[in-house]
Chains A and B, each alone.
Chain A
Amino acid sequence: MEGGGSYESGDLDNLKATELRLGLPGTDEPEKLPSMLPRSSKRAILEANESQSKRNPSEIKSLEEDQKPAAKAQIVGWPPIRSYRKNSYQAMKMEAETTGMYVKVSMDGAPYLRKIDLKVYEGYKELREALEDMFKCFSLGEISRMDESNVHEYAITYEDKDGDWMLVGDVPWEMFLSSCKRMRIMKGSEAKGLGSIP
């Protein structure tokens, strides 16, 4: 019999337990894949995409030591983009990473604006703390202090790529970083009903 691997059916069952699969874990991937992947496992490394998977990630066998845990599947030659273009993107990304991401921050009532580098913060908490620090000199009240009606005095908002003013904190931090163009700390009276900031 030609073709296929030289695996016997018993081996297939054992292989299944440790198989590398293409696609999300638990999806109805047909039997076509199991006997293919162990053979090509040297080059195909798979990891379920954490953010898309609703199930527990399947067990993974990784052969590359320095792989970022959050990185999506790194299959050789996929997606099919010319190396030249891929290298350019990487260069652009690296440059974007080294240069800071400075955005203007205005606060209602403050006489001048400030600029902050969003890259240096790990998440919304640090950002809020930094903003508080920066603007407290204006003695306009604390950003996170609540008044009697349990509403925050200020709301931190940002202008996104489409030009809309959004409340800071709704979207994942990475998404916020990529869409924030500038920020505005809005007075509570104007920010009525915007709710609390995490």
Chain B
Amino acid sequence: MTYFPEEVVEHIFDFLSSHRDHNAVSTVCKAWYRVERLSRRSVFVGNCYAVRPERVVARFPGVRSLSVKGKPHFADFNLVPDDWGGFALPWIEAFARGSPGLEELRLKRMVVSDECLELLARFFPNFKVLVLISCEGFSTDGLAAIATHCRVLRELDLQENEVEDRGPRWLSCFPDSCTSLVSLNFACLKGEVNAGALERLVARCPNIRTLRLNCAVSVDSLSKILACAPHLVDLGTGSFTIDHPAEAYHRLINNFTKYKSLKSLSGFWDASPRCLPAVYPICGNLTGLNLSYAPAIQGADLIKLIRLCLKLQRLWVLDCIGDKGLAVVASTCKELQELRVFPSDVCGAGTAAVTEEGLVAISSGCPKLNSLLYFCHQMTNAALVTVAKNCPYFTRFRLCILDPGKPDPVTNQPLDEGFGAIVQSCKDLRRLSLSGLLTDQVFLYIGMYAERLEMLSIAFAGDSDKGMVYVLNGCKNLRKLEIRDSPFGDAALLEDVGKYETMRSLWMSSCYVTLKGCKTLAAKMPRLNVEVINERDESNEMEENPSDLRIVEKMYVYRTVAGPRNDAPDFVWML
């Protein structure tokens, strides 16, 4: 192998697509390490604190595409205090200094300021792709900077970010010379949008394929936009309500009829069922449909729409679709691979919307199903066993029974057997979220059968330390483990400390882990960062009385080569 000229090796490495393969070849020998680092074009950093940005820049000078993830997953559910960290600025600054050839940046759960966006806009002349998912800290002024200065921008994709609205001017900042947009998604913006500027922008970008509008875009505007973007593949409609009927509506219908290439539809904010017939002509081509922000579309209207979507592969809906609606999905959408059913009534005692029946129906009608997120009011072991038998190809299985710790309502038993059936049947399962009443038994099953499992989310489950130990011992490929409100303590935490270096991270909150346990872990494993996150009002109290026996409310452990981070706020203790 050492006889190969480096150019040949480099050429071979160009064919490697996955990060894992790249990482693997770089450890073979020094020569390969050298070749690989110079030829690497794309870097994925799963935890922004696992490595320093400068180190990434130094090792991979030719990087064109960078993806970084910040806060732990449970931050999505308000379990991580706001100023915990995950700042994008150090990354952007490091790359601005050392690798300004960067073309693509994808950030998830990070704090992105307007300053970050301005840096991106000004210091990266070839910047083409910006994707921000679940980020916060920026405003439409930052977007204005991107629009103004990124001359070759291809993609601006904002997914579910909290963006401060400072007016509609940002969209008008795209210069007339900007014709390169392929994908524009600003669905998460709450504010008004300059309709004229939007229409002109879309009209002068002939390659635009993805366009996701926010709720401020009217049906009228949508019609005009559709008229000048005939090759759209992915559309997020705007408000989709009609106050003054007839003309706008008919124009909309006419436009939709022409759309042969549309494959994915989302949006439907405030959608009124009267507008739905406009999309009937294209339903037969749809592979993706997201109605999860349209509570007004339900019952007969929803079913009528679904019956037309024969090619659907990905469906996101609210639970008001009901078990009956899911049965219609099962009989219509034979190609379905991904289903997400979200709860429409988050805190009320509303009518029970979907139960195990809906899921069983889906499983028997859609054998290709491989990804599930299902919020329901109840689940039975029998149903899960049936689902496991019908759908052995699950790679992602997330079940959320809304009542924590709820048993099987028919047998009053824990759901151990049901989830056990899932992990046993689905050999390729990579991600699993549990809920309902669960004992240590389910973890025994998971440890035994879930060989490919990479991410496990546990809430209100288990009886003793044994549960957690089963998982740590059994799941060889475990990368992320997040646990809340479960009776696992120091014994489980310290059972196999070396395991955590094979994982990206461990989160434990409202468990039985004590400060002493955390300190022990930190002392034994210098290449792990052990963070104890206190509630802000408790942290002063803790300073005076840091008894080691005190139970730690939130703990976040992750492997790192960067050492303890220097941007942690007061209430985060780096042990």
Q: Which residues of A pack against B, CB within 8 Å?
A: 2-6, 22-23, 27-30, 32-33, 36, 39-40, 42-44, 49-52, 70-86, 88-89, 92, 95-96, 160-163, 174-175, 178-179
Contact = CB atoms under 8 A, between A and B. Distances in A.
Instruction: Select the residue from B160, B161, B405 with max chain A CB neighbours within 10 A.
Output: B405
Contacts of A174: 350
A82 B76 contact: yes
A23 to B, nearest CB: 5
Contact of B459 (A2, A33, A78, A160): A78
A80 B407 contact: no
B516 interface: yes
B487 A36 contact: yes
A3 B300 contact: no
Given A23-B405, A23-B406, A28-B412, A84 B161 contact: yes
Contacts of A178: 350-351
B160 A23 contact: no
B575 interface: no
Contacts of A95: 270
A195 to B, nearest CB: 23
A51 B351 CA distance: 11
Given A89-B344, A162-B299, A80 B400 contact: yes
B349 A3 contact: no
Interface in B388-409: 400, 402-407
B459 A161 contact: no
Nearest to A71: B347
A80 B494 CA distance: 28
A84 B160 contact: yes
Contacts of B77: 76-78, 80-83
Q: Which 8 A/B pairs are nearest by Cβ-Cβ distance?
A: A3-B489, A161-B299, A77-B77, A2-B490, A84-B160, A3-B490, A22-B405, A77-B79
Contacts of A6: 549
B375 A79 contact: yes
Contacts of B270: 92, 95
A63 to B, nearest CB: 13
B262 to A, nearest CB: 24
B188 A84 contact: yes
A132 to B, nearest CB: 28
A197 to B, nearest CB: 21
Contacts of B411: none
A161 to B, nearest CB: 3
B532 to A, nearest CB: 15
Query: For chain B, what secondary structure do more than half of its interface residues adopt (helix, strand, loop), or is it mixed?
Result: loop
A92 B295 contact: yes
A111 to B, nearest CB: 24
A96 B320 CA distance: 16
Contacts of B161: 84
A52 B535 CA distance: 33
Interface stretch (B5-13, B116-124, B242-250, B506-514): B506-514
A51 B349 CA distance: 7
A3 B491 contact: yes
6 contacts: A32-B464, A33-B405, A36-B512, A71-B348, A78-B77, A92-B270
A68 to B, nearest CB: 9
Contact of B160 (A40, A44, A82, A89): A82
A175 B351 contact: yes
A32 B463 contact: yes
A162 B301 CA distance: 9
Contact of A84 (B162, B400, B405, B460): B162
Given A23-B404, A78-B77, 16 more contacts: A2-B514, A3-B491, A4-B489, A27-B407, A29-B405, A32-B463, A71-B347, A73-B404, A77-B78, A81-B342, A81-B375, A89-B295, A92-B293, A95-B270, A162-B299, A162-B324
A23 B403 contact: yes
B551 A79 contact: no
Nearest to B74: A77
Contacts of B162: 83-84
B517 interface: yes
A72 B347 contact: yes
Contacts of A92: 270, 293, 295
Nearest to A50: B349
A120 B79 CA distance: 38
B110 to A, nearest CB: 15
B489 A160 contact: no
Contact of B347 (A30, A74, A83, A162): A74
B276 to A, nearest CB: 14
Given A79-B400, A82-B134, A70 B349 contact: yes
A162 B300 contact: yes
Contacts of A83: 76-78, 162
A77 B78 CA distance: 6
Contacts of A78: 77, 404, 459
B546 to A, nearest CB: 15
A55 B298 CA distance: 34
Interface in B451-474: 457, 459-460, 462-465
Nearest to A163: B300
Interface string B88-108: 000000000000000000000
Nearest to B294: A92
A89 B517 CA distance: 40
B514 A3 contact: yes
Q: Which interface residue of B293, B463, B485, B517 has the most chain A CB atoms within 10 A?
A: B485
B346 interface: yes
Contacts of A74: 347
B343 interface: yes
Given A77-B74, A78-B404, A3 B465 contact: yes
A96 B300 CA distance: 20
B348 A72 contact: yes
Interface in B146-194: 160-162, 188
Most chain-B CB neighbours within 10 Å: which of A6, A27, A30, A77?
A77
A70 to B, nearest CB: 7
A163 B303 CA distance: 12
A52 B351 CA distance: 11
Contacts of B160: 82, 84-85
Contacts of B375: 79, 81
